Chains A and B, each alone.
Chain A
Amino acid sequence: MEAGQPLTGIDNHLIFEISSMSILLSNITKKFGTFTALDHVSLEIPEGELVALLGPSGCGKTTLLRIIAGLEHTGEGRVLLNRKDITDQDVSHRGIGFVFQHYALFRHMTVFDNVAFGLRVKPRRSRPTETEIAKKVHALLELVQLDWLHDRFPDQLSGGQRQRIALARALAVEPSVLLLDEPFGALDASVRKDLRQWLRNLHHELNVTSIFVTHDQEEAMEVASQVVVLNHGRIEQQGSPSEIYDHPANAFVSRFIGQTNVFELDEHDSEWLQSSGLIFTAREGKVAHIRPHDIEIEKSIDNSGAAATLKDWQHLGALIRIELIKNGFNGSDATLYAEMPNDQFKRLQLNKGDKVDLRIRQAHWFH
């Protein structure tokens, strides 16, 4: 019931004439008092993408979303939709679908009336008849698989259901852009997983340019086709999930996306790294970031020269996370993590306290 199934096979093209649009943000600067929420942000989002605005809380991602929607004054800079400057256009005229963090469903209206709202407030000239509205609302409710709830009130729905109704309501006005503020933030972990997949499928089907805000890197990587990483009101990197993961532009992105071991490089460390099989020339950077799955381990034969000691491990489903103590030269021990598949780890037959040798496949270098 809570999504997850493939979408219904109804022919959406008959109901929706969504024309996907590109978004261009130019030099957006937004200040709240003395606090700079956004600092000269420029961003281009091609049509049809599903983009995640990712960053820690307070990085300005929600403000950016609200500026695109017109819910927040722009401050400085311009917002362009399909190359048309809409900076001074009111939110009610932008034709943007916005799904609010806590859904903001109209408490006093039924599910049906909520979804119909955007159609019923249209100026009389362009307003569909009630029968057309009913047809469209039911089609939308079928699209989100909740038509059977059409006469309920929002307070009678579960979180996941509210979420999907909010989405149906935003889609009813055939928005050229769909904006979602922390779409899965208020949901249980299990429902969240299903809805992520469902949102991806829905986007695939409707192909409307969509932007969602999240602080959860896993969510961003799983759902989005493009990820924009924000920090302190600036864009740190934009790219596909694999680009961002495999080629982080800077230390912040590398640290924020996925797990990573951080080495502040001094002489001993570089020696240690080289002895662990990492090949690098002298001046690639001061800091090395190493993904846990880029570290291979095996039981050490030569106990005295071993690189690390096995401290403990945790099961993460198919993977094992191994906690290692780096054997320092001057007694300065540090913890690092490696990851490997379950069965591979079993084959190594390691025990706590065993000395291990490492082979580091690759590292990212930052200054």
Chain B
Amino acid sequence: MAQSSVMPGFRPTLGFAAIYLSLVVLIPLSTLVFESFKLSWDDYLHIITNRRVLSTFRVSFSTALAAASIASVFGCIVAWVLVRYSFAGKRVLHALIDLPFALPTAVAGIVLATIFQPSGFLGKLLIDTFNLQVAYKPLGIVMALIFISIPFVVRTVEPVLLEFEPAMEEAGASLGASRRQIFTKIIFPNILPALLTGFALAFARGVGEYGSVIFIAGNIPYVSEIVPLLIVTKLEQFDVEGATAIALTMLIISFVLLLLINLLQLWVRKRSGQL
């Protein structure tokens, strides 16, 4: 553990950081693992393979995937517009991007529910014109998760676009590439790794999201019930084992997915010479 630095304060700062980290994060999180050891493998499987549980997993992961994908497309457009174009109100738009970070999820939840519920401002419009119901359906969950995902995508893609060397585009143009070719062959490959990061962050957040979703979801079992809500429900029924098993499974699946996305990102970076 020796260091050559003459800096003071190594022991106190590292000591405090390590102890605090253990107390606030590591010990609490480890309970999840230890608690699940109390369950036998059969009990665990029994809990997890329950039809209702499986359907919540399907709902949670598919809606998070859809929302992160949609947010990636629109987030890219927003980042592009913010970096490349100038127009009135751009600065306000820029500041507003972070609202989902700053606005408490419960507020977002009740507002989105109010907008999209069948009697709500947009909900009514969509039902009347397209016969499309948003609230109390997976679509409602996707809407809420898009809201949550926006800043993740925009804020990871934006700096890459800002740093992008304009000479690379000029080089492409001087070699005869059209605007479309410059975008698909030069600009997009360079922002893809950042876009994947933004997607991964948005997806991870979406899977675990609770506050902004539960109001608009309506929480109908087998239709619009998400994993976090099922955990809460189990807890309210004092089924701690059930809650733990589901929570641990969700955590593991999220980590595995994140790992896969990181590997994908690594592969993309390697392939594009950014490593």
Residues of A within 8 A of B (CB): 69-71, 90-98, 100-102, 104-110, 117-118, 121-122, 153-156, 169-170, 172-173
Contacts and interface: CB of A to CB of B under 8 A. Distances in A.
Given A121-B185, A173-B176, A98 B273 contact: no
Nearest to B268: A108
A117 B172 contact: yes
A172 B172 CA distance: 13
Nearest to A122: B176
Contacts of A70: 174
A91 B174 contact: yes
A108 B272 contact: yes
A110 B181 contact: no
A118 B176 contact: yes
In the complex, which range does the number of interface residues on chain B fall in?
A: 20 to 34
Given A100-B167, A100-B170, A121-B185, A108 B177 contact: no
B175 A107 contact: no
Contacts of A90: 173
A170 B175 contact: yes
B176 A108 contact: no
Contacts of A101: 167
B131 interface: no
A153 B273 contact: yes
B274 interface: yes
Nearest to B272: A108
B165 interface: yes
Across chains A and B, which 9 residue pairs bring their CB atoms closest together, nearest first? A153-B273, A108-B272, A118-B175, A104-B167, A98-B174, A104-B171, A121-B177, A108-B189, A91-B173
Interface string B173-209: 1111110010001100110000000000000000000
A153 B273 CA distance: 5
**A95, A121, A153, most chain B CB atoms within 10 A:** A121
Contacts of B170: 71, 91, 98, 100, 104
Contacts, number: 82
Nearest to A90: B173
Given A100-B167, A108-B274, A155-B273, A93 B176 contact: yes
A-side interface mostly? loop
Most chain B beta-carbon contacts within 10 A, residue among A70, A91, A122: A91
B177 A117 contact: yes
A107 B168 contact: yes
Contacts of A98: 170-171, 174
Contacts of A96: 174
Where chain B touches its partner, the secondary structure class is helix
A98 B168 CA distance: 11
A121 B175 contact: yes
A173 B274 CA distance: 26
A154 B273 contact: yes
A155 B269 CA distance: 13
B174 A106 contact: no
A118 B171 CA distance: 10
B183 to A, nearest CB: 12
22 contacts: A69-B174, A70-B174, A71-B174, A90-B173, A92-B174, A93-B176, A94-B174, A98-B174, A104-B165, A104-B167, A105-B168, A106-B168, A106-B171, A107-B190, A107-B272, A108-B190, A109-B273, A117-B175, A117-B185, A118-B177, A121-B176, A155-B273
B248 to A, nearest CB: 39
A266 B180 CA distance: 66
B173 to A, nearest CB: 5
B189 to A, nearest CB: 5
B239 to A, nearest CB: 51
Contacts of A156: 273
Contacts of B186: 106, 108
Given A92-B173, A108-B272, A117-B175, 6 more contacts: A95-B176, A98-B170, A106-B171, A110-B273, A118-B175, A121-B176
A97 B175 CA distance: 7
A95 B174 CA distance: 7
B273 A102 contact: no
A169 B273 contact: no
A169 B172 CA distance: 10
Contact of A92 (B178, B185, B190): B178
Interface in B207-233: none
Contacts of A104: 165, 167-168, 170-171
